[in-house]
Structure 1
Amino acid sequence: MTTAVKAAPGVTASDRGTYTYIAVFSAVLYTVLLIAPVIAGKLIQQFALTPVQVGTLFSLELGAFSLATVPAYLWLRRMNLRTASYLFTAVVIAGNLVSGLLDDFGLLVVARVVTSLAAGSITVIILTLSGKTSNPSRAFGIFVVFQLAMGALILAVFPSLFAGAGVAAIYWTLAGLAVLCLLVVNRIDGDVLRTSSPAATSSPARVPILKAAAGMAAVLLFYVALSGVWSFMAQISAGSGIDLSASSLILSLATVAGILSALTATALGDTPRRRIYLIAGYAGMALSIGLLFGSPAIIRFTIAAVIFKFAWTFILPYLLSTLSDLSNGGHLMNTTNLMIGSGFSIGPIVSGALIQSGAGSFTGMLVFALTGVLASGAFVMVAQRRNVAPRI
């Protein structure tokens, strides 16, 4: 890979192909999670589901998305990644097509779990390939940017576009988007993990265990905190007496701030200042949570929401690139996918329980989230390698 070394300051052809793959797949695969509120309403109408059944369906989808990590330990470094991508994308397409045809809730659950397992398997490939580029922070930034951009587009378009359609139309649209992903599969090097040097393939034995454990803890706590707070932002707003229309506008503004911060991290890419950027990002996230205490008025709530979204999307690429620095073999990044999904699942449940136990008060939840952010920041500092200069 000597050409990559010579071209390190720029973007190699291999990197460009990988960035394209990451952008397209991350935008499409996360669509189903982003449009959960739209799908939920359709499912309740069509299948006469209870809120518990809808919640169970989405929990199983998210769980399958994360648990795709487990079988990936067996195939990730053995299969050609192009072949795996074609296979898993075909399953995603078929799963969405079948989901639109089913009229039995039990069968729908099975179809969604299988579809999510395939989508989660491609996410494992995305995370691993991001760490193999010459600029992992930029790759992870692209991973975040295109999810957020698609999320903003979906929230603006999908509710009105599918207002008079059944849930089948949504699933079939997702299938059509997945078909487009097939066009970029050939942009990646399918043998990039299988053709690693002997030194690289033996790298898992040399992964610094304490740093890896600290990195995993940092990712888990980061997602527990952010998902716990963001899930209840609208409720915090309502509890402060801010009306729904103003709250929606504020959260939309925060989403724009999140896209801008992820774009900033993507443009900066890997840098010797990564530790400083992480410290600044975590400080911003902690500050934003602090601003949410005590039923904030509309201006303070707006500042808190914008800083919160800006900070966490700025942190994420550098947090993930910290983990990629510790792993040459791919399995550490594979495990990161499990931590992300676990954090997403744990955060809202714990936060909801704390709010309920506090008789509707958000103080306990915010204390828990603030503690998680500070602990995540401490763990990621422990996980940093001494040499954080851009990799080539």
Structure 2
Amino acid sequence: MATLTTAGPRTGSDRGIYTYIGVFSAVLNTVLLIAPVIAGKLVERYGVTPVELGALFSLELASFSLASLPAFLWLHRINLRTATYLFTGLVIAGNIASGFMDSFPALMGARFVTSLASGSIMVILLTLSGRASNPSRAFGIFVVAQLAMGALILAVFPALYAGTGVAAIYWTLAGLAALCLLAVRCIDGDALRSPSRARNYPDADAAAPERGRTKVPALRLVLGLSAVLLFYVALSGVWTFIAQISAAAGIDLSASSLVLSLATVAGIISALVATVLGETPRRRAFLLAGYVGMGISVALLFGAPGLVRFAAAAIIFKFAWTFILPYLLSTLSDLGGGHIMSTVNLVIGTGFAIGPLLGGALIQSTGDFTGLLAVALAGLLASMAAVTATQRKAA
């Protein structure tokens, strides 16, 4: 098997891909994970309504989706290292500028540009994950890294930045993005320029480049993408407003922050388990169990949950969510197609955008969280049915 001759570390190996994925996903995917912290700070500074708050997160997360559109043109043509340096620079500048914005519309503009750059790097992360010899493990690292960073921020920020505004969060993210530049050399910049480069990965599955040239059956593609869309609509809608659900139930802010931190730790543990297991013949069973767990957790949030019920719901929700996510993404990567993961990123961003916006509208129109939770529960059930049908078609 051919090997790469580029200088430095084994940039073409799975080890280099895993390092790059872990470092960048830890920083660039924290928007939704720290939404409960940022949401309160934004309300304090700008006095936004639930709809405006949901619109900001929807706009920011939708830009992740829009980044996939130009990626169809540049992903297989531009050196990945050069692209990463460029987009990371934009992320740094955007986060710095966000801290200085005095008006809410200006902040929305800055967050749109910042997330567009982050989404461009996300396309690279997802595509390289699908090219690894063990996609489920690569996607597991993708999830674990961002959860670990999210847990750290949720645990530290409420106390460390209690007397400061949202700017401190954005500036911290800018500094972390700058540190990510050290991991750029871990990948082969020309890895995606042609199928022949993919064959040069010393640890890669020989079937990976073949998947990239396989024509994707239309029905399986629609089912798989529908499963991802509904999954992200449900989870983003619930998680964005989970702190508000806690507050409406009369739970103290410090207790709620502790619960959310513990939930994120539980999510890290479950994602680590999925990462260690990697590809497994039990993928379908794991997916079904995870969906059932998420459904139970959403059901526990109905009404005005006490501290114990809220804690159980949040922990189960995060544990199940992060356990099944690597298997859901690897199911899509198995469909093949040269731009399948770019399309998945487009769908993820769309789901992220719809969830908070729909959730904010439902909360404001009904005056409580019943509508949001009912829609989320229905979305999870539909997503479970779609991914199950996708796997049956694959079999």
- Range of TM-score over shorter length: 0.7 to 0.9
Q: Which residue of 2 aligns with 1:321?
A: 330
Separation (CA, whole Å) in 2 of partners of 1:298 and 1:162: 24
Does the C-alpha gap of structure 1 residues 202 and 151 become closer, same or farther in structure 2, counting only changes over 3 Å?
Answer: closer
The CA deviation at 1:257 is 1.2
Q: Which residue of 2 aligns with 1:288?
A: 297
Once the two structures are superposed, the pairs formed by residues 249-260 of structure 1 within 5 Å of their partners are 249-260=258-269
Once the two structures are superposed, the pairs formed by residues 1-392 of structure 1 within 5 Å of their partners are 14-36=13-35, 50-51=48-49, 56-100=55-99, 108-163=107-162, 169-197=168-196, 200=209, 203=212, 206-238=215-247, 240=249, 242-329=251-338, 331-360=339-368, 362=370, 364-384=371-391
The CA deviation at 1:282 is 1.3
Separation (CA, whole Å) in 2 of partners of 1:79 and 1:173: 29
Does the C-alpha gap of structure 1 residues 230 and 197 become closer, same or farther in structure 2, counting only changes over 3 Å?
Answer: same
Deviates more, 1:73-82 or 1:119-128: 73-82
The CA deviation at 1:139 is 0.9
Does the C-alpha gap of structure 1 residues 116 and 347 become closer, same or farther in structure 2, counting only changes over 3 Å?
Answer: closer
CA contact (8 A) 1:128 1:334 kept: yes
Does the C-alpha gap of structure 1 residues 383 and 289 become closer, same or farther in structure 2, counting only changes over 3 Å?
Answer: same
> What letter matches 1:119 in structure 2?
S
CA contact (8 A) 1:32 1:174 kept: no
Deviates more, 1:311-320 or 1:157-166: 157-166
CA contact (8 A) 2:81 2:187 kept: yes
CA contact (8 A) 2:59 2:353 kept: no
The CA deviation at 1:321 is 0.5
Q: TM-score, normalised by structure 1?
A: 0.84
CA contact (8 A) 1:34 1:154 kept: no
CA contact (8 A) 1:136 1:321 kept: yes
Does the C-alpha gap of structure 1 residues 19 and 103 become closer, same or farther in structure 2, counting only changes over 3 Å?
Answer: same
CA contact (8 A) 1:224 1:343 kept: yes
Does the C-alpha gap of structure 1 residues 176 and 185 become closer, same or farther in structure 2, counting only changes over 3 Å?
Answer: same
CA contact (8 A) 2:11 2:17 kept: no
Q: Which residue of 1 aligns with 2:7?
A: none
The CA deviation at 1:73 is 1.0
Instruction: Extract unaligned runs of 5+ from structure 2.
Output: 5-9, 198-206
Q: Which residue of 2 aligns with 1:8?
A: none
RMSD of the alignment, in Å? 3.3
CA contact (8 A) 2:11 2:185 kept: no
Does the C-alpha gap of structure 1 residues 277 and 161 become closer, same or farther in structure 2, counting only changes over 3 Å?
Answer: same
Separation (CA, whole Å) in 1 of partners of 2:41 and 2:242: 24
Separation (CA, whole Å) in 2 of partners of 1:268 and 1:41: 37
Separation (CA, whole Å) in 2 of partners of 1:358 and 1:54: 17
Separation (CA, whole Å) in 2 of partners of 1:263 and 1:60: 30
Separation (CA, whole Å) in 1 of partners of 2:146 and 2:130: 18
Query: What do the CA deviations read for 1:129-148 (whole angstroms, capped 9, x no partner)?
Result: 11110111111111111111
Does the C-alpha gap of structure 1 residues 266 and 246 become closer, same or farther in structure 2, counting only changes over 3 Å?
Answer: same
Separation (CA, whole Å) in 2 of partners of 1:288 and 1:248: 18
The CA deviation at 1:161 is 3.6
Separation (CA, whole Å) in 2 of partners of 1:353 and 1:102: 25
Identical counterparts, % of pairs = 68
The CA deviation at 1:183 is 1.0
Does the C-alpha gap of structure 1 residues 328 and 190 become closer, same or farther in structure 2, counting only changes over 3 Å?
Answer: farther
The CA deviation at 1:313 is 0.7
The CA deviation at 1:36 is 4.9
Instruction: Extract unaligned runs of 5+ from structure 1.
Output: 5-10
Q: Which residue of 1 aligns with 2:201?
A: none
Separation (CA, whole Å) in 1 of partners of 2:302 and 2:105: 42
CA contact (8 A) 2:144 2:272 kept: yes
Separation (CA, whole Å) in 2 of partners of 1:95 and 1:239: 33
> What letter matches 1:254 in structure 2?
A
Separation (CA, whole Å) in 2 of partners of 1:372 and 1:352: 16
CA contact (8 A) 1:26 1:146 kept: yes
Separation (CA, whole Å) in 1 of partners of 2:69 and 2:244: 35
